[in-house]
Chains A and B, each alone.
Chain A
Amino acid sequence: MRGWLVGCFVFSCMLCGCSRESPPSPSEAARAATLRPADERLAALYDHSCRACHANAQANAPLSGDRAAWLSRLKKGMPELVRNVLTGFNGMPPGGQCFTCTPADFEALIAFMSKDMP
């Protein structure tokens, strides 16, 4: 009986877990922590908002510079991504916690974070 119960749990986890991404490697996480936009104004916005989650593997967000993790998001198109940022989507909090960012800022920040960086 106990085995069946555990089996149910595993079954559930398998179904729900099939779309989950693999966690970032330690080197990807370390690299994300060092990245910063070249433009100083954009870098300040990034530091105050995006960095808390997108340079932190424990936050479960796609890391800056991890192109593979961003590809599925980018497929939605930039307008949809910006809309998701503004209103919030899954773990992404509304406005990305940047309440003075404009849609153009969000586009630039997404472009920066989703770039494939060495």
Chain B
Amino acid sequence: MTVTRRTAIGIGVGAAATALVGTELGREWWFDREPASPPPQNGQGKLVWRNWSGSASGYPSVRAAPNSEDALVDLLRKTPAPIRPVGAGHSFTSLVPTDGTLLSLDQMSGILNHDASGNRATVWAGTRLGDLGPALAAIGQEMLSLPDINKQSLGGALGTATHGTGEQYQALHGSVRSFRLATAGGDILECSAQQNPDVFFAARVGLGAFGVITQVTLQNTAVQRVRKRTFVQSTEKTAAEWNSLCAAHRKVEFFALPFTGLSAVVTTDPTDADVIPRGADLDTESLMSLKRLRDLCGWIPPLRRRLARSALTGEPEELAVDDSWKLLSNERPVRFNEMEFHLPREAQMAAMLEVLAAIEADHREVFFPLELRSIAKDEAWLSPFHERESGSIAVHAYYKDDYTRLFAQIEPILRRHGGRPHWGKLHSLKARELEALYPRWRDAMNVRQSLDPQGRFLNPYLRELFIHA
């Protein structure tokens, strides 16, 4: 059989096309395979509990959801330890896994009462932030600050020092004026700056290890209309302008996109303009496009950079005008794992550039942006923002990607710049290292010991955090 030149070329082109499609589909399969899961039940027939990202899991022997403080107190006296409160399971660290009692406050949810003139509201700690927004709006109030995601419970968000952004805005726990704490001994303590002040300052960011916060009185603000702008510019320019951006806008954050040289900057400022509702979820679309770009040409960084820049450069800015609580938080339906450290604000940009360089040198698998925010200092003893104006750097890994090598390389950079870890996000620090970062650490530990001498709220992970080996 004679093979003509045209046939040979056709076969060659066909083979190349098949190889290209096959390679692409193979890479897709490789990158999109589901990570291994723990068994749905253990040998004793207990159901698995797993956090949102899948990074932590356990098999609690008891799952409890009391519907009142009395029921909670009764439970705390006799239920098997470790007792671990769970909100929405959005912490990436192993704060929750227990083979004792998994305690949900889902049935202790909603607004108890409010003070219209002072914009204060007392809220059950089991209330999810996504439900709290409209509930507060119905009484003309909104929270002063909101995190990027609104799925968390109020108690979980406060206990891990969850935060939003804004040079003048404290993390969520900064708005707490008082709370009620159910202790391991079955007491209810009223806590504020005037009443049980040591417990107020120690347990406000308490990781669910001091007791169970049941009710919280929040200092809110009247509902405010804001203009939210999102625009893309070079990361170099954003880093150079960061201080002036923070000073010029009520709230600002940016997402630095590795392998592109670009950042998406998000500013939020008060306005009286007519409502422009937030549109379709372009963040998720953009994120998955960055994933496709990683999948296709992650192994050729210059091509990846050129494609991303041609797709993103010159994009018109996104604009939305609405009540603040509707625009500050996002759905974030793509699951991920996260490390976040809070640095002295003056160290934030240098650390960010170092982290970006490390990712671009050694971690071509990364397609999630870094998230950069600013947070005002506060007084809570275990707050990562304790007495320090802070700038945060968050590094994300797709939940199907192995994050261990990435986070192990990034953490030393963030620590070298003076970072304190977010309590709900992945880090490797233990009691000895943490004590060196928190001036009131010993005071907080003494309060915890006095409230829970038997350590009924401590699981193995918390023992490593709080008790020296």
A30 to chain B, nearest CB (A): 14
CB contact under 8 A between A59 and B307, given known A83-B40, A87-B50, A95-B89: no
CB contact under 8 A between A88 and B335, given known A8-B296, A8-B297, A99-B102: yes
Interface of B is mostly: mixed
Establish whether residues B151 and A15, one from each chain, have CB atoms under 8 Å apart when the complex forms: no
A76 to chain B, nearest CB (A): 13
Q: Among the listed A5, A15, A53, which residue makes an inter-chain contact with B307, where contact means beta carbons less than 8 Å apart? A: A5
How many pairs, one residue from A and one from B, have CB atoms within 8 Å of each other in the complex?
116
Q: Which residues of A contact B104 (CB under 8 A)?
A: 99-100
Establish whether residues A87 and B48, one from each chain, have CB atoms under 8 Å apart when the complex forms: yes
Q: Among the listed A53, A90, A103, which residue makes an inter-chain contact with B34, where contact means beta carbons less than 8 Å apart? A: A90
In the complex, what distance in Å separates the CA atom of A85 from the CA atom of B25?
A: 27
Establish whether residues A13 and B280, one from each chain, have CB atoms under 8 Å apart when the complex forms: no
Q: Which residues of B contact A98 (CB under 8 A)?
A: 106
Q: Among the listed B47, B109, B281, B333, which residue makes an inter-chain contact with A48, where contact means beta carbons less than 8 Å apart? A: B109
CB contact under 8 A between A99 and B86, given known A5-B307, A6-B310, A53-B333: yes
Count of A interface residues, CB-CB < 8 Å: 38
Stretch at the interface among B212-220, B287-295, B423-431: B287-295
A47 to chain B, nearest CB (A): 8
In the complex, what distance in Å separates the CA atom of A82 from the CA atom of B41?
A: 12
Establish whether residues B47 and A103, one from each chain, have CB atoms under 8 Å apart when the complex forms: yes
In the complex, what distance in Å separates the CA atom of A12 from the CA atom of B24?
A: 8
**B294-330 to A contact mask, C-beta < 8 Å, 1/0:** 0111000001001100110000000000000000000
Q: Which residues of B contact A60 (CB under 8 A)?
A: 281, 284, 331, 333
A27 to chain B, nearest CB (A): 16
Establish whether residues B65 and A61, one from each chain, have CB atoms under 8 Å apart when the complex forms: no
Q: Which residues of B contact A25 (CB under 8 A)?
A: none
Interface band, chain B: 35 or more
Residue on B nearest A91 in the bound complex, by CB: B333
| Cβ < 8 Å to A, chain B residues 14-47 | 21, 24-25, 28, 34, 37-38, 40, 47
| Cβ < 8 Å to B, chain A residues 75-118 | 82-83, 86-91, 93-95, 97-100, 102-103
Establish whether residues A59 and B333, one from each chain, have CB atoms under 8 Å apart when the complex forms: yes
6 further contact pairs, Cβ within 8 A, besides A12-B292, A94-B57? A2-B310, A8-B297, A12-B295, A15-B28, A52-B130, A99-B104
Q: Which residues of B contact A89 (CB under 8 A)?
A: 34
Q: Which residues of A contact B28 (CB under 8 A)?
A: 15-16
**A15-29 to B contact mask, C-beta < 8 Å, 1/0:** 110000001000000
In the complex, what distance in Å separates the CA atom of A40 from the CA atom of B65?
A: 16
A58 beta carbon closer than 8 Å to chain B: yes
Establish whether residues B48 and A86, one from each chain, have CB atoms under 8 Å apart when the complex forms: yes
Q: Which residues of B contact A23 (CB under 8 A)?
A: 280
B128 beta carbon closer than 8 Å to chain A: yes
Q: Which residues of B contact A100 (CB under 8 A)?
A: 63-65, 104, 106
Q: Which residues of A contact B296 (CB under 8 A)?
A: 8-9, 11-12
Establish whether residues B281 and A94, one from each chain, have CB atoms under 8 Å apart when the complex forms: no
B459 beta carbon closer than 8 Å to chain A: no
Residue on A nearest B309 in the bound complex, by CB: A5
In the complex, what distance in Å separates the CA atom of A56 from the CA atom of B28?
A: 28
In the complex, what distance in Å separates the CA atom of A87 from the CA atom of B318?
A: 36
Establish whether residues A86 and B335, one from each chain, have CB atoms under 8 Å apart when the complex forms: no
| Cβ < 8 Å to B, chain A residues 24-83 | 44, 48-49, 52-53, 56, 58-61, 82-83
Q: Which residues of B contact A83 (CB under 8 A)?
A: 40
Q: Which residues of A contact B48 (CB under 8 A)?
A: 86-87, 94
Q: Which residues of B contact A99 (CB under 8 A)?
A: 49, 63, 86, 89, 102, 104, 106
| 6 residue pairs, one from A and one from B, having the closest CB atoms | A94-B50, A87-B37, A12-B296, A60-B333, A58-B281, A86-B40
B441 beta carbon closer than 8 Å to chain A: no
B124 to chain A, nearest CB (A): 12
B51 beta carbon closer than 8 Å to chain A: yes
B438 beta carbon closer than 8 Å to chain A: no
Q: Among the listed A6, A13, A49, A103, which residue makes an inter-chain contact with B292, where contact means beta carbons less than 8 Å apart? A: A13
Q: Among the listed A61, A82, A95, which residue makes an inter-chain contact with B49, where contact means beta carbons less than 8 Å apart? A: A95
Q: Which residues of B contact A91 (CB under 8 A)?
A: 333-335
Q: Which residues of A contact B106 (CB under 8 A)?
A: 48-49, 98-100
Q: Which residues of B contact A9 (CB under 8 A)?
A: 292-293, 296, 307, 310-311
In the complex, what distance in Å separates the CA atom of A102 from the CA atom of B24?
A: 40
A64 to chain B, nearest CB (A): 16
Q: Which residues of B contact A61 (CB under 8 A)?
A: 333
Q: Which residues of B contact A11 (CB under 8 A)?
A: 24, 296
Residue on A nearest B334 in the bound complex, by CB: A91
A111 to chain B, nearest CB (A): 19
